[in-house]
Amino acid sequence: MYTLSELQQMIFIDIETSTRKETFQEVIDENPALEEYWNLKTSQLRESQPETLKDFADPHKMWSRMAGLYPEWGRIVCISMGQLKFDETGFPYDFKAVSYHGNNEDDLLKEFSQTATKIMQKYPKMKWVGHNIKGFDLPYIIKRSLINDVVVPNAFHLHKQKPWENCLLDTQDVWKFGGWNSAKLGLISELLGIPSPKDAMSGPEVNEYYWNDRLEEIKTYCEKDIQATANIMLKMSGMDIIVK
């Protein structure tokens, strides 16, 4: 499905996020004007997910459950990016990953932005690949960069580009194969016999891990996500997966 040349020009990326403050009360204390906006968001979330969020009517309780999913209320705590390595025969033998993680979101966004800019200047045809990268990861990175006054690489000025012109490849879209339905990364991994990234934690648990100073575990989880995504692309291209 994808050629060796195409796979060599892919960077796999994933982010992990948490709430901007540990509690909603801290947000209110810092800026009381934000209270009504999160109260409104709480009502909207309960209306859109009545069964899942039926026990989260209290905005303070909803905060820890959902705020980290939205860049207006959350923060990025880890950005992982990686690339497949092939030998001279075209056999995939390794996956190299690097992560920017920590308590200073401004610093990790700057480091990522500088690296991404250098990559796209040197390799303008490089594709940035992720599961729901179009709907979540890149928009989140862009918005948090703007909030933190971090320069967004030109290649990520997606609002100026046609969908078929941008540098993103979303495995959630790939898995549709022209149809309407896709699936979660963990499910696709299980179906294709790929080590699941969800064995250590799940997305909703990241916030709890972060506020309990378990950043290294979040980094490991994030890197497992990008390796699983890379393995999905290998599997769909008829190649052996990377297991390590």
Residue 137 confidence (pLDDT):
97
For position 97, what pLDDT does the model report? 97
**Is it the case that residue 163 has pLDDT exceeding 80?**
no
The residues pairing with 101 across neighbouring beta strands, listed in sequence order, are: 78
User: CA-based angle 68:72:75, to the nearest 5?
Assistant: 45
How far is Cα 146 from Cα 13, in angstroms, rounded to an integer?
19
Residues in contact with 237: Cβ distance below 8 Å, sequence separation at least 6, in sequence order: 1, 2, 3, 7
Buried b (16+ CB within 10 A) or exposed e, 49-58: eeeebeebee
Q: What CA–CA distance (Å, rounded) separates 186 from 204?
A: 14
Q: pLDDT tens digits for 166-187?
A: 899 999 999 999 999 999 999 9
Q: How far apart are the first and last CA of the chain?
A: 24
Distances (CA, A) of 58 to 16, 72, 180: 25, 19, 35
What is the pLDDT averaged over residues 136-149?
Answer: 97
Rounded CA-CA distance 244/11 in Å is 18
Domains parsed from the chain with CATH numbers = 4-20+79-236 (3.30.420.10), 21-72 (no CATH)
Mean pLDDT of 102-130: 96
